Each structure stands twice: as structure tokens, then as C-alpha cells.
Structure 1
Amino acid sequence: MRASGGGGGGGAMALPSAGLPRYLLLLAQENLEFRLPEIKSLVSLCGGRFSDQQELRLNSPFWILSMPSEEMARGLMKRTVCAKSIFELWGHGKSAEELYSSLKNYPAEKMAPFLQSNLSYKIKVHTFNKTLTQEEKIQKIDSLEFLPFEGKVNLKKPDHIFWLLEDYGMDPNNIPEQPLDLYFGRWIADGQRDLIESYSVKRRHFIGNTSMDACLAFLMANHGRVKPNDVVFDPFVGTGGLLIASAHFGAYVCGTDIDYNTVHGLGKASRKNQKWRGPDENIRANLRQYGLEKHYLDVLVSDASKAIWRKGVKFDAVITDRKLMHSLKYV
């Protein structure tokens, strides 16, 4: 059984790097303590593993990971909500000169398949903690003209997109003139940040005063390595936010809660200008809203401090709010 309780990080670790392709991960700057557990869990789910052979700057939006294949990189991005994009890293330096040198030393045979005359491309410039003018961006792109591109530039529908990424540090009150780190790579895939908006609690049919933020719910489902056909249990189910995230990833979901009114969708409404909950405001209706009703098993009224399950009952993952799990120690 796997358990997820919304915990934080552990030490700074990355995949073993010896002989493996390097990838650059661009992360969102929120829920920082959840990012490493999510990435570690998803790499494990994809069949990889982390080791302590390489340090990560845990608060930075740029992480360099070594992975055995582009397929694994794509698999990671099909699940993550903390990462924005991943790139095949072609060059990295502490200065423009170091970056150019790194790019010139990147194996030509690895570049060649993406630079052919029949393939179009474009280059994007991304900066963290500094805004550049369009003219400055164009100058930076022009400085990469030594790269052996043979195809034509296509700004609308290129065959390949390359990114120049610059890191100007973490202090918005002390932005350096020159970037602290520069990266160049081929875009591979984007993460699942759009899930945060499409599953927003603001538009959810049934909510409560403590309904979990959609981003945290998906993070915790990823921490629990939820996968299709798993059976997932939340002992403090509330309005079912964690069940929704787990069902989105293909799991069958169930839960318990001590609050009879919440489980049955009864009582006063949590929404402004609505006095009472409607007859179809319940956890099952929430899953129905997202086309996930077939993954709903059931929800029971129960005190989680007392054993209710017959011996031998097993779940693939138990995912719940860590603060509620912690409170059981005092019951």
C-alpha cells in the first residue's frame, strides 16, 4: 500500500547522471515543499529512480535531471502539476560564453536529427526574475547563429521549438545585470498545469469550507503514485477533492468522513448567496461533473479513529490531508 499525506521534501537529489541524457525541468514557483516529492514519485512511477549523486537547488525553478529516455521525460510531464515544461538540455553555463562553449561541445550527431533542412524551427527566450524587451530577446537569439540550423524559421507551427532560458536569481529586489545561469534546449513537453484551472474549486458543483485546492489534490495523488485501476481511499474525504484527482488518473475511489451532512450533501451551503445545499450537491455529483462517476465506489460516515474495515481489506493508496491524519494522534 502507498500512502500520501501532503508532506514535504527530503534532501536535494536527482537521477543518477552517468552516461544518461540530461533534461532541464522548468518548475512553477508555488508549493515549493511539494515539488521534489512529486517529481521523485512520478519518476518512480515511470520506472526510474532518484539517487543522491547530484544536488538540486530546491527553491530554483530550474532543475537538471538525468533520465534514460525522452519517453520517460514525456511520461513525467503527462502527470506533473508542479512542472511547466521539460527540455532536452543541449547547453548550460554561468555566462553566455560558457553556454556557447557548452553548445559547441554538444555532440553533433545528437543535434543533427532536429536541424535538418526539411525541418522548421523557432527559438524562444524565457527569463526568470527579469523582463527583457523584444529587442533584447532578438539579440540573444541572433547570438546563437553559430548553431548549425539548416531549416527555415517558422514562428507559428515549427517542427521543433528551442528555448534559451536565463536565471536571474531569487531576489526581486536585487536583480543582477547578467544572468546567473543560462540554459539552451529542445522543448519536449509541457506539464499538466491546466488541470489546476479546469478542476478549480471555484467552478465545482459541491464544495465545503475546507475543500482542497485543485493543485494540492493533484500533487498528493501524484505523491501517492496513483495509476489506472488502483483503489484509493481517503479517510477524511470531505467534499471529495482528493477522490476527484485520483479518479482523473484512472483510480477507483472511496472514502469516509465523520460529518454526516457533508457525506450526504445536506445542510447549509458553503457558497455565497445560497442558503441550503441542493439535492444533487454531493461527492458523487462532483465526480459526475468531470465525467468520472464510473470511478466512484462509495463514501461512508465513519470515525477514522476507529477501525471499520474487515481484516484483509487492502487499498492501493491511502491519500488524505496530512493535518487531519496528524490529528488522530490526539484522539
Structure 2
Amino acid sequence: MAEVPYLLVCLSFLFAGLFMDYKQTYPIRRLFLNIFGVVMVLYFGSQLSLENLVGPLSNLLLILLGIKFLEEKKPRDMYQILLLSLLCISLATLHNLSLSFLLFLLVFSFLSITSLVFINSYRQSQRDYQRAEVFFHYFKVSLALFISVFLFAVPFFVGLPRSQFPILDLFGRGEGLKTGIAREVSLGKVGEIQQDNTLAFRVYGLSQGLKDPYWRIQVFDTYQKGRWVINLKGSQPLPKGTGDVQYTVVLEPHYDDYLPALDYPYSLSTLEGIKAQVFVAPGGVFRASTSINRPIRYTASSVFEPPNWDEDLGSYLEVPKDVPKG
């Protein structure tokens, strides 16, 4: 997710570019802007990693888009502005799953197609570009292209088969133990666990002063033959109101029903991307009424002290008979 200072820089460059276009004067040399763009690419490129990919890339795209606003707008520059805008919107889809963003995406798609048509017509004939009949003709062409793309996309969306697992991961799923979240934990298997760097979820809105946040996802209640498993069943409704800290989670599909929350989970105010009921399962963890098979976003709150859940804690204190005392 892009940081606010870089967004403000992009907006300031945008308004400066509009003023330059109005005055038809561009005091900043293109060579200087190109050098500045290369420096920004190197700067944000040094911050990229598998664990931190979206943030630096979003900031870089905003800066490059702002630089293009400061240049004289030739057709080639307009194409580049459209491409950078498309990349920015593509990254924004990782964090926005609401219906309002879908409407914004449709409007952006229509304006992009319209801009592309008009840029091409401008390249062919600048003389007739301002005539009203030409304007309406290309507007109708853009609308027809947009509707055609939308109509052709619907059959593909409905007809293409959907796998229960990511397509790119079908041939790489091993049988060995991996780090992550599981329904049980086997003791004595630490040496066999493989490191898995797959992104699980992103969190936004936490205070910078919060150190070492602890996420409650699974709570095991029964020890059986060298394994910790979950046997307790039941559910409680989420309480009303908000806790001590509120934050937003963008959860990747994991094909289970758990919803990670900061310890101690308290309530959940919004859930986007899937239709499901959320409840509190034994152990004070959030669960959904259906499996998470697509990216979702939710706003949750947590408290710093354990909430008073109506739950018998005796099951968590039982010790197997074969475990020696002391």
C-alpha cells in the first residue's frame, strides 16, 4: 500500500503539470526528470523483497506517474501515463474488495479505453480532433469497445473452472511439514519442518509503537499421542462495539475458516470479499461459517486484557495420564 507522503507528492506533481499544460510551458528539462526517475527506481528497487513487495512498488509507481505529469504530453507520454495508471489500479485491487471500488474500476476502465481511442485518433489527424461530430464518433466507439470487453469477460468468468488451490501452486505442493497454520501440531518434528515464505495476510492501521504483535489464530485444547489437536466445538456471537485497537486485515485464501486477529480478539466490524457469518470459537479465536477461498478484507478490533468469554477453561488444563507429574 502506498504511503501518504508519496501520494501527496504525486498529487502535487499532477496539479503542477496541469498548470504547465495550461500555460504551455515546461521549465523542467526532460533529461533532469529522467535522471530523477532512474534514481527513484534504484531507491525503491533496493527496498523490494518477497516479504515487502507491494509497498515500495506502489510508492515507485506514484512517483513515476507524478514525473510524467511534469513533462510535455506527447502521444508516447500519454500512453505511458495510461500504463502507469493501470499498474497503480492493479496494485490497489490487492487492498480493495468493496462494491464501491468495483464501480470505480469500471469507470476507470471506460475512461482508459476512451483515452486510448482519442490518443490514437489524435496521432492520426490533429486537424479534425476538435470537431464535435468526430468527438461523438470516437466516444461511441469507446463505449462500444468497453461494453464488448465486459460482455466477453462474463462468459470467461462464469465458465472457467475454479481450483480449490492456486493454479501456480498445484505442482509444488509437497507432503512434508511446513511453517504456517495447521489443525494440529506434532511434537518432535521440528527438524522436518520446511520454511514457507508464502504471504498469509497483510495488516494496516496498527500503531507504529506496537512492538512484537501476537496473532491469535489457532488454540489447541487436547494432547493425543504426541500431537496437539482441536476437539472443542461451539461458538459465541461477536460482542458489539470496538476494543482497544482497531485495524484492517487483507487475508489471502487459505481454504480454511480461520480469521487471524491480534491478541486478544474482540470484535469484527466489516467483512468484504465473501459472504459468511463470523463467530468466536473455543479459545477466543475468530472463525467464519465458510472456507476462505478468495482474498478478503475485514476490520477487526482487539483488547489488551483477556475478554470474559463464556467458556470453561478446564479443558485447557487437563494433562494426559501418561505425562509424568512434576
* Global fold match (TM > 0.5): no
TM-score if structure 2 supplies the norm length?
Answer: 0.26
TM-score if structure 1 supplies the norm length?
Answer: 0.26
| Greater per-residue helix proportion | 2
| Greater per-residue strand proportion | 1
Which has more radius of gyration?
A: 2
